[in-house]
Amino acid sequence: MALKVAEVGGATAPAADPAVAAPARRAPMVAVDAMGGDRAPAEVVAGALLSAEAGISVLLVGQEPVLAPLLDGLDTRSLAASVELLHAGEVVAMDDDPAKSVRRKKDSSLVRCAEAVRDGRADAMVSAGNTGATMASALLRMGRIRGIARPAIVTPIPGPLPTPTLLLDVGATVDCAPEWLVQFARMGAEYARLHHGIERARIGLLSIGEEMGKGDEMRKRTYDLLSREPGFIGNVEGCDLTLGRADVVVTDGFTGNVALKTLEGGMRTVLRLAAEALGLPVGDARVGEVLEPVLGPAVAQYDPDAFGGAVLLGIDGVCVISHGASNARNIDTAIRLAAECAEAGIVHRMKEAISHHGV
Amino acid sequence: MALKVAEVGGATAPAADPAVAAPARRAPMVAVDAMGGDRAPAEVVAGALLSAEAGISVLLVGQEPVLAPLLDGLDTRSLAASVELLHAGEVVAMDDDPAKSVRRKKDSSLVRCAEAVRDGRADAMVSAGNTGATMASALLRMGRIRGIARPAIVTPIPGPLPTPTLLLDVGATVDCAPEWLVQFARMGAEYARLHHGIERARIGLLSIGEEMGKGDEMRKRTYDLLSREPGFIGNVEGCDLTLGRADVVVTDGFTGNVALKTLEGGMRTVLRLAAEALGLPVGDARVGEVLEPVLGPAVAQYDPDAFGGAVLLGIDGVCVISHGASNARNIDTAIRLAAECAEAGIVHRMKEAISHHGV
């Protein structure tokens, strides 16, 4: 294979294929943790190649001896110019301690990905590996945006409206202070503007009753703070997440993660019940075929497999966290999302929006 | 109508119909808050009559001038022996402050219901009114079981197994200490034994990852405590709630309520998507007809309308809390559940189980 294996920490610009004219605007380069995820590296590499075919430059980060054979024959697919390989000797395991692994495995594919973004070598990173370690790598190597105390993962939840409800946080910061939820609201509103063209997002606080004063102590204090934010519509409930009542719903990472996974499990249960009713094995493609005319393609939106990844907001760089079970299609979707965020200048816009609030 | 209107606070036995021979074992008497709920009193009374037809004795509590006309013609249905009326002059509104309303509206139907159970006039109570006020009434009038610091609402969630997963708490105690979750686990295990014949319940702690150490600070401390409990299987996630991985799942009332409502909303969304795909108005009965052969009756289990009510555990008396939007069928289901709990001697059994843990 004719790919140049980049040097670790090399801050040189990606090697340009002389056969391709320099574009007016360089396509974003996405660093991909090729060793992270249950199906790494094969599915991750396959996903990266799908993105490269779509014109996104990909920096595959991982053990060169393992990755190189997967890239054999790349020249014949004319992708050589879009795919680079960055060797990293170590791998963070799915069950490694997040903080420790970042401290000890300095030459891991995950840490090297974050450094590539920090050093300007890449414009964004994607990992389907250890979620905690991915967050820790991004946080420790790229740092936080000024004015943001803790990062948040934002996830779109489809509803009856053309634009989804953005739920954050869904797992980055499990123990939250009320002030942090206000920051999440501001980041969510800015994300809604950038990605969904919503000029003034309707912001809801996830609670257990619509009236002010419903919820636990943390929620009550957060409600008071959010009342001063533009677009705040008050409390929303779990059932509102799929009803499009708010553009942005804020909560702590613990509650958000439980809600998101409950929703995923519920949707999977519908498919299981359908399979049972049809006398088919669970996961049989015919279930989808029979359901398709009835439920339409919309229900597929809730299929966890359809989610490529979620963006980690509040970090001074673009980081997309992918599901551990991601297949090539999921990885491709995640890389596209990362490239989109980089092209939209999301970090810069986030910084402006936060500083605008007078931190 | 020939019903005797009972005196407030009267501790005499229910008036027996001389035409009916005294049964070997008296059927349970359920006090029903006839003024509580969005559709009260008409739907509540209609539901109570359904229960009475099934042989349950019902004590309808509320404003006699309002209720009496709804009971006209009862004699012809031979229900007079099963239905009594207890006058209560006041009504707790759906948005009344829970604690205040119990303190100030001493002659409300809700407070009188709780007193009827406390005084042995009834064996259980049901209300579809103000949830917070219902809990406060039960707590303040009946008191807690010794060894239980805070009450919990238990809700069955159907899954692939013949018995449901019991989730608690879903809203009674929103700010929880780890020790209280251990008490919830013990009550849930006892409830599983009584209602579902599960000798040794598999107990899961709702968290955001299966491994020990996942979750917020409260969950980590709870995990340590639960590790000493028989049947503890570790952390479970939101997606496990419908997968039957545990018989009992414990969490704080805030998270549990969010999870439950998220699940309800997700299931409603499936029906909406189906309606859209079929070009029918949402709520059209034909949606169910078309889905029935595909999804089977099982999905209907997740329909909030199918839930009659949830049992408030930890109280020294049986209290079933019904959905505010309950119709006659829901009220009937809730009354049957309350009667079942009373017949099973749930409070006595709960006390024994808790004292067994050496409080």
A202-242 pLDDT, tens digit per residue, is 999 999 988 888 899 999 999 999 999 999 999 999 999 99
Q: What are phi and psi of B256, to 5 degrees?
A: -65, -40
pLDDT at A160: 84
Do B264 and B321 lie in one domain? The reply is no
Overall pTM surpassing 0.95 (yes/no): no
- Mark whether B229 and B328 lie in a shared domain: no
**What pLDDT sits at residue A270?**
75
The CATH code of the domain that includes B156 is: 3.40.718.10
Residues A224 and A101 in one domain: no
A133 and A19 within one domain:
yes
**Contact residues for B359 (Cβ-Cβ < 8 A; gap 6+):** B146, B147
Contact between B208 and A175 using a beta-carbon 8 Å cutoff:
no
Question: Which residues on chain B are in Cβ contact (under 8 Å) with A215?
Answer: 174, 254
What's the confidence (pLDDT) of residue B8?
A: 44
In a domain, A359, yes or no: no
Domain that holds residue A205: 150-304
- Rounded to 5 degrees, what angle do the CA atoms B215, B216, B220 make? 70
Report yes or no on B352 lying in a domain: no
Q: Cβ separation of B268 and A211 shorter than 8 Å?
A: no
Q: What is the distance in angstroms between the Cα of A97 and the nearest Cα belonging to chain B?
A: 10
By the 10 Å C-beta count (0-12 exposed, 13-18 middle, 19+ buried), A120 is classed as: exposed
> In the prediction, which pLDDT does A294 show?
55
Q: Name which of A175, A257, A272 is nearest B160 (Cβ-Cβ).
A: A272
Helix (H) or strand (E) holding A32: strand A29-33
B206 and B160 both lie in a single domain: yes
Q: Is A79 within 8 Å of chain B by CB?
A: no
Which residue, A274, A304, A334, sits at the end of a domain? A304
Nearest chain A CA: its distance from B12 CA (Å): 40
**Which residues from chain B sit within 8 angstroms of residue A257, using beta carbons?**
208, 237-238
Task: Indicate if A32 and A73 belong to the same structural domain.
Answer: yes
Residue type, A289: E
* Residues A155 and A288 both lie in one domain: yes
Same domain as B301, residue B157: yes
Q: Tell whether A302 is within 8 A of chain B (Cβ).
A: yes
Classify residue B357: in a domain, yes or no.
no
Residues B78-96: pLDDT tens digits?
Answer: 777 799 999 999 999 998 9
d(CA A219, CA A236): 11
DSSP-based three-state secondary structure for A255: helix
Question: How many domains is chain A partitioned into structurally?
Answer: 2
Spatial distance between the Cα atoms of A143 and A347, rounded to a whole number of angstroms: 12
- Please indicate whether, in this complex, the C-beta atoms of B261 and A217 are within 8 angstroms of each other: no
- Label residues B203-232 b or e (16+ Cβ within 10 Å = b): bbbbbbbeeeebbbebbbebbebbeeeebb
For B99, the token pair is 């604690």
Residues A96 and A225 reside in one and the same domain: no
For residue A307, pLDDT over 90 is answered with: no
Both tokens assigned to A281? 């094995």
- The answer to whether position A136 is within a domain reads yes
Q: Which residues of A198-226 are buried (b: 16+ CB within 10 A; e: fewer)?
A: beebbbbbbbbbeeeebbbebbbebbebb
Examine residue A309 and state whether it is found in any structural domain, yes or no. no
What share of chain B has pLDDT > 70, as a percent?
82
Distance CA B354, CA B349 (A): 9
Determine contact: B179 vs chain A, CB below 8 A.
no
Q: Is residue A3 part of a domain?
A: yes
> A299: part of which helix (H) or strand (E)?
none
| B195, B79: one domain | no
State whether A63 and A129 are in the same domain. Answer: yes
First to last CA, chain A: 51
Q: Is residue B33 part of a domain?
A: yes
What is the rounded CA–CA span in Å between residue B248 and residue B241?
9
* B141 and B8, same domain (yes or no): yes
Q: Considering the domain boundaries, does residue B91 fall inside one?
A: yes
Point out the domain boundary residue: A285, A304, A323: A304
Q: Which of A36-40, A280-284, B224-228 has the lowest mean pLDDT?
A: A280-284
**Can you give the length of chain A in residues?**
359
Judged by a CB distance cut-off of 8 A, whether residue A217 touches chain B is yes
Residue B358: how many CB atoms within 10 A of its CB? Answer: 6
**Which chain A residues are closer than 8 Å to B160 by Cβ?**
272
Q: CA B163 to CA A168: how far, in whole Å?
A: 34
